[in-house]
Amino acid sequence: MAKLKIKILDEDDNSLRLHFSGTDRAFLNALRRTMISDVPKFAIDQMRIELGLFKDEATGELYESNSGIADEQVAHRFAMIPIPTFHDEFHFQDECPDCSTLVEEQRGCPACQIIYTVSERGTKEGHVVTASNMNVIGDRKLDIPETFGNIPLTKLFEGQVLHAYFYAVMGRGRDHSKYSPVAGVTFRSRQIGVMNVKTRSKLLFDLDLNIVAKDFGKDGKMTDIDKVDLLRDDLQHAGDATELQSAFKDAITLQDVPGEFIMKFQTDGSMSARTCLERAFSELAGRFSAISADLDEAL
């Protein structure tokens, strides 16, 4: 089998597009499922809302602990906020060196739990509580990233207040979707464009879309990955149920390249896309090592 090679095509903090060669669909699907279900991340798991009436010392006004929507809805919205995750600095609660021997209800320390507070009151016009209003107790690098600070959580009107504590722990997507760090994880075979009939291909070029004749090599093939993506879009204008379908007759087609794939995904902001990918490879390596050890023992 050819050696696995990976080339980064596009990258920013929260997304990656990759070119894999020397592999197959089974491996790519295992990697996809691992990122969705097995890469650990922090998420809000519990909340404690302070109930009662609260007095504004400056004005003497009383505010009631009432966010206007059900507590269950508040909990769900906070649970989906991307919590910064640093795998090397924290533990799962059942693996925490300080908490693992305690009963589940008593677990929770700076090594396995992050605590956020929210203390906001309403206004006559309505005050929108956002993710930026979550204040971490501890290291400021655990604050919600500024990029996601405007995520709305609830709205408070005059006389309403939200005083609450939110507890984040490490988990995996297979246990609950709030622990899944990625979205839109897809892969497809890498393809090349092939000009089969030059005369009929002109029908597509005359539409003045993205691709022109000179984008194809002397052999009538297009191998540039970005150009092929544009060609795929253009071919929608000459395919089934279009006016050009019968005249075009597959003058240009896309062909799969064996053993090569394009994968792309984005994270929810709890970690960088590169960190997520590296962690997924680590999780896969550990799983395969365990399987190999079990086979060696059985055989």
SS3 annotation, 58-79: CCCCEEEECCCCCHHHHHHHHH
Protein fold of 41-179: RNA Polymerase Alpha Subunit; Chain A, domain 2 (2.170.120)
Q: How far apart are the first and last CA of the chain?
A: 24
In the Cβ-directed half-sphere of 256, how many Cα atoms lie within 13 Å?
9
In which residue ranges of the chain is CATH 3.30.1360.10 found?
A: 5-38+183-266
Give the model's pLDDT for residue 172. Answer: 96
How far, CA to CA in Å, does 268 sit from each of 5, 46, 71, 78? 26, 20, 24, 14
Give the model's pLDDT for residue 66. Answer: 74
In which residue ranges of the chain is CATH 2.170.120.12 found?
A: 41-179
CA distance 212 to 158: 61
Please identify which residue in the block is written with the tokens 């086979």. Answer: 295
CA distance 108 to 138: 14
CA distance 284 to 80: 26
Class at the top of the CATH hierarchy for domain 5-38+183-266: alpha beta
Give the model's pLDDT for residue 159. Answer: 83
pTM of the model: 0.86
- CA-CA-CA-CA torsion sign (165, 179, 42, 112): positive
Is the CB of residue 157 less than 8 Å from the CB of residue 68?
Answer: yes
Give the model's pLDDT for residue 61. Answer: 74
Instruction: Find the radius of gyration of the CA atoms of the chain.
Output: 26
Instruction: Give the pairing type, strands 182-195 and 127-130.
Output: unpaired
Give the model's pLDDT for residue 286. Answer: 84
Planar angle of CA 263, 267, 269, nearest 5 degrees:
155
pLDDT tens string, the chain, 299 residues long: the values are 568 999 999 999 999 999 999 999 999 999 999 999 999 999 999 999 888 777 777 777 777 777 778 888 889 999 999 999 999 999 999 999 999 999 988 999 999 999 999 999 888 899 999 999 999 998 999 999 999 999 999 999 988 888 999 999 999 999 999 999 999 999 999 999 999 999 999 999 999 999 999 999 999 999 999 999 999 999 999 988 899 999 999 999 999 999 999 999 999 999 999 999 999 999 998 877 666 555 566 54
